[in-house]
Amino acid sequence: MRFLTIALVLALSSCGAARGYPVNAPERTVVVKEEAVVLGGGCFWCLEAAYELVPGVLDVESGYAGGSREKPSYEQVSSGLTGHAEVVRIRYDPAVVPLERLFGLFYRIHDPTTVDRQGADAGSQYRSIILYSGEAQKAAALAAVRLAQADFQKPIVTAIEALDRFWPAEDYHQDFFRKNPDHGYCQAVVRTKADKAQAFVDKLVP
């Protein structure tokens, strides 16, 4: 769905800021401890736009993970044959925003009960997935599923797997919503996710 618009976006994309959302990445302050988690739940443009609004999040990078192909391209991942999912790597300060609350936002901005689909985006590359690093993250991910299940009638199908490697996506995917707020997909889909994140963001600060 989005693949057909990429060439046009590269040629005509606006560098204007998304109205109503921060233009710049969060300011870096003194960070005693920095952690990272990798999440996938549909289009990575959506997750990136949502998590960039969260205080305590230091950086959000779109990429690919969960498959076996090395150095995958967007075209290869879009084929659904690489095993990779579209994901984001979220670097955050746990003293400002605990992992559990990042998971809380995750389950509010995508549907974790659909297999290999988010809205009109279908394929294994759009699956709901948490890729953990270490047993503590794994335990937190499993606990988040149990907690979130009460909000859904259907079973949550989020895959919880150990992270092997994160592959950054191409440069044109990074900060896509901020750079291309008027893009059709951003207006129809990404902005809705960002609105949900904005409504939730105050609850993310301990």
Could you confirm whether 186 is annotated as catalytic?
Answer: no
Which H, E and C letters describe the chain, residue by residue?
A: CCHHHHHHHHHHCCCCCCCCCCCCCCCCCCCCCCEEEEEEECCHHHHHHHHCCCCCEEEEEEEEECCCCCCCCHHHHHCCCCCCEEEEEEEECCCCCCHHHHHHHHCCCCCCCCCCEECCEECHHHCEEEEECCHHHHHHHHHHHHHHHHHCCCCCCCEEEECCCCEECCHHHCCHHHHCCCCHHHHHHHHHHHHHHHHHHHHHCC
Residue from 15, 43, 46, 186 carrying the catalytic annotation: 43
- Residue 43's closest CA among 16, 68, 63? 63
Question: d(Cα 60, Cα 171) in Å, to the nearest integer?
Answer: 13
Q: Are strands 167-168 and 85-92 parallel, antiparallel or unpaired?
A: unpaired
Residue among 15, 63, 41 nearest 170 (CA): 63
Active site residues: 43
